[in-house]
Copies of this chain bind each other. A is one copy, B any other.
């Protein structure tokens, strides 16, 4: 007789990594879209197609600091035989009331300023005497220091064709164009475009709020004194950092002792700020495996879809895993094993894709590559288990770091990849090609 409650697949059934991941991704859905200020939406996924409301640039404008003139007035101009024009004033960027440029006239114009009526082209200031009458200049003097330069005469030394150095209205984007499509991830260039077309707020999937909670009566906070039988809590720190790294807003809850009532109360308290709950520890076959104990009670029989299922997976490390939903909003919960390396590997394989799915991303997995195994001896792996070994990947080769022991946090800190040894492989020889998950 087994002590475990009967389940469809039986307590000894080993689920594959892929089955477990598929069940998680079939349950977790992108969060309800909200409207956010542009900079708050950085890294988020747009849920609307954004159309350009106004053509950019919104008006013909100068791409140079220079003089706005008529083409005929500068035809044939040279340094020896300059065109001498009357300067009627300045056109600065942002200026609304524009001068009219008539025959024989020039308006001093700044980059980005509207091409004034009457003007047909722009000659850069470097092609003129800047109004000083002493040969070509390299720039204008500041208006505040030399206001007289906006009047008087200017000598133009070179001709310019129609609309030279003019950026045409609508030459970047046109009103009605699709600026960005739903599903776009908003990085700096996309934020630039949205601001440029006047969008200060956008509808996106928000970042998920992830509550990370470690369990274990043996756990002590770093910087506290370690007494007999105790170890430091590292999981809540590691997974909070990893959840942020995946794009979440992560809240770390201090380690909870192995008491089912306390754990239930803590989880219920935290539900209000959780789009996803992650626990570590207490999921195995021991008599004090409190997450299993507490969450089998947390399932509300009246709430369809509620409840957490605990499984054994055909993987190493990370065999015992729990997944389900809890509370009135059916908040998804992943219960990871307590060993630091097991929980970190489990996070990478299951929690990170769940977080990225909640964000509305379609590319939810770490990149995988094939690499040549560099090792002194063959890797061994238990038959029927998919093994994830820590390794360092560089230039197409991967080298294991540390052993297979699942408690080697020191080795994990030197790894940048997971080496995948499939279920049906018991040994991998040096030089063989292996699949590698790049930890980024």
Cross-chain contact B3 with A232 (CB below 8 angstroms): no
Q: A92-B258, A172-B410 are in contact. Are A112 and B227 (CB under 8 A)?
A: no
Number of copies: 2
- With A137-B3, A200-B221, A287-B65 already in contact, the answer to whether A231 and B58 are too (CB < 8 A) is yes
| A interface residues, how many (CB within 8 angstroms) | 122
Q: Does A223 contact B (CB under 8 A)?
A: yes
Q: Which of B98, B139, B218 contacts A11 (CB 8 A)?
A: B139
Q: In the complex, how many angstroms separate the beta carbon of A168 from the nearest chain B beta carbon?
A: 10
| Least distance between A62 CB and chain B CB atoms (Å) | 9
In the complex, the answer to whether A405 meets B132 with C-beta atoms within 8 Å is no
Question: Counting CB contacts under 8 A, is A190 at the interface?
Answer: yes
Contact residue among B38, B139, B141, B222 (Cβ-Cβ distance under 8 Å from A199): B222
Q: Type the 1/0 row for A150-191, where 1 means its CB is closer than 8 Å to any CB of B.
A: 100000000000000001000111000101100000011111
A393 at interface, CB cutoff 8 A: no
Binary contact readout A1-30 vs B (1 if CB under 8 angstroms, 0 otherwise): 111100000011000000000000000000
Whether A237 lies near B344 (C-beta < 8 A) is no
Contact B54 A413 (CB under 8 A): no
Instruction: Give every chain B residue within 8 A of A95 (Cβ-Cβ).
Output: 217-218, 229
Q: From A69-77, A240-248, A298-306, A426-434, give the one contacting chain B.
A: A240-248
Q: Are A216 and B93 in contact (CB under 8 A)?
A: yes
* B167/A405 in contact, CB under 8 A: yes
Contact between A39 and B252, CB atoms less than 8 A apart: yes
Q: Are A11 and B413 in contact (CB under 8 A)?
A: no
Known A38-B237, A96-B227, A188-B245; judge A410-B179 contact (CB<8 A).
Answer: yes
Contact between chains at B287 and A149 (CB < 8 Å): yes
Give A216 to B245 CA distance when docked, in angstroms. 36
Question: Which A residues, 328 to 358, have Cβ-Cβ distances below 8 Å to chain B?
Answer: 338-340, 344
Q: A229-B94, A344-B188 are in contact. Are A409 and B111 (CB under 8 A)?
A: no
> Residue-by-residue, is A117-140 near B (CB-CB < 8 Å gives 1, otherwise 0)?
000000001100010101101111
Contact A409 B172 (CB under 8 A): yes
Beta-carbon contacts under 8 Å, A257-274 to B:
257-258, 260
Interface check A407, CB cutoff 8 A: yes
Measured in the bound complex, the distance between the Cα atoms of B221 and A59 in whole Å is 18
13 A–B contacts, CB within 8 A, in A order:
A2-B138, A92-B288, A94-B218, A96-B229, A140-B285, A141-B287, A143-B287, A192-B237, A192-B340, A193-B234, A193-B412, A196-B231, A196-B232
Apart from A96-B229, A187-B245, A188-B241: 6 A-B pairs, beta carbons within 8 A: A1-B135, A42-B241, A96-B228, A125-B285, A188-B239, A189-B409
